[in-house]
């Protein structure tokens, strides 16, 4: 039996526009990577590790579990929502990578592959994770303002006055600016972490742009439609502590 035309047909080649975009992306990425060679590799690796899910996810879960946050149910809810977002991002980005299967740059050296989908480049998981985290923190801006002005600054003031007399008073006068300043610094970290993926040679520019956009969309979607309330978070936390046999301080 002769094979059907569909069986003998070769894979559909990329269109001219896609090929041109791919070549442009690779050319720009090489130029950015050359700039990255002038930056201490330890700095770029530090950014890489700071956005690594192997650290972000367990640290977030561990802080959520700890009983010392019993006075801050909103903060505990934030951590649980962030943990769910991490898991959602992990599955979604991994699925896209396994479907699209774009190889990483040939000049990508010294990278440890934790799971098989990490062999693929599009989209960037570090970029999606970093931008998602920054967006999540901004969504909770009112909470950070309250924590800074009513808890963090009053707690830190006497210690600062002991070290540097008068500095606590200055901090108190600027306490309304602490949370916004921290959020802007976090946003700068997110952009730097995403950019480091191209500077290190781990990804192409389009990988990072797509990952960044996905991270922002994930944060918006989860915060709008799958938000876990403080009461639900507290209930889950109490149930888990009971299962683990850990005293509940609330």
Domain count within the chain: 1
In a domain, 162, yes or no: yes
Q: What is the number of residues in the chain?
A: 250
In a domain, 147, yes or no: yes
Query: What predicted TM-score, i.e. pTM, was given to this entire model?
Result: 0.82
In a domain, 18, yes or no: no
Which of 210, 218, 211, 54 is CA-nearest to residue 126?
A: 211
The residue to which tokens 């290190």 are assigned: 200
Distance from C-alpha of 114 to C-alpha of 117, rounded to nearest angstrom: 9
In a domain, 86, yes or no: yes
Q: Are 89 and 215 in contact (CB under 8 A)?
A: yes
Residue-level pLDDT at 210: 96
Please check the confidence at residue 185 and state whether its pLDDT lies above 90. yes
In a domain, 144, yes or no: yes
Mean pLDDT of the chain: 82
26-63 pLDDT tens trace: 999 999 999 989 999 899 999 998 988 888 899 998 88
Please check the confidence at residue 7 and state whether its pLDDT lies above 50. no
Q: Are 201 and 149 in contact (CB under 8 A)?
A: no
pLDDT band at 233 (very low <50, low <70, confident <90, very high): confident
In a domain, 247, yes or no: no
Please check the confidence at residue 148 and state whether its pLDDT lies above 90. no
In a domain, 9, yes or no: no
In a domain, 2, yes or no: no
Sorted by sequence, the CB contacts under 8 Å of residue 59 that are 6+ apart come out as none
Assigned token pair, 222:
């989860």
Residue span of the structural domain in which 84 resides? 33-239
Residue-level pLDDT at 14: 58
């Amino acid at each position: 039996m002769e094979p059907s035309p569909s069986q003998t047909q070769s894979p559909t080649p990329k269109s001219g526009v896609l090929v041109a975009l791919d070549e442009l992306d690779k050319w720009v990425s090489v130029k950015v990577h050359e700039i990255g060679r002038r930056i201490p590799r330890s700095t770029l690796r530090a950014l890489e590790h700071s956005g690594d899910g192997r650290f972000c996810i367990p640290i977030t879960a561990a802080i959520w579990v700890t009983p010392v946050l019993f006075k801050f149910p909103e903060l505990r809810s934030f951590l649980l929502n962030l943990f769910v977002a991490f898991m959602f991002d992990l599955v979604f980005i991994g699925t896209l990578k396994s479907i699209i299967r774009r190889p990483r740059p040939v000049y990508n050296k010294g990278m440890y592959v934790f799971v098989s989908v990490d062999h693929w480049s599009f989209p960037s998981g570090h970029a999606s994770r970093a931008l998602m985290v920054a967006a999540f923190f901004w969504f909770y801006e009112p909470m950070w303002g309250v924590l800074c002005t009513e808890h963090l600054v009053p707690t830190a003031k006497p210690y600062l006055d002991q070290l540097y007399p008068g500095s606590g008073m200055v901090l108190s006068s600027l306490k309304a600016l602490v949370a916004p300043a921290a959020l802007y610094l976090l946003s700068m970290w997110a952009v730097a972490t995403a950019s480091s993926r191209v500077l290190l040679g781990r990804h192409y520019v389009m990988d990072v742009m797509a990952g960044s956009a996905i991270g922002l969309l994930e944060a918006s979607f989860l915060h709008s439609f799958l938000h876990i309330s403080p009461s639900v978070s507290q209930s889950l936390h109490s149930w888990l502590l009971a299962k683990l046999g850990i005293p509940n301080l609330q």
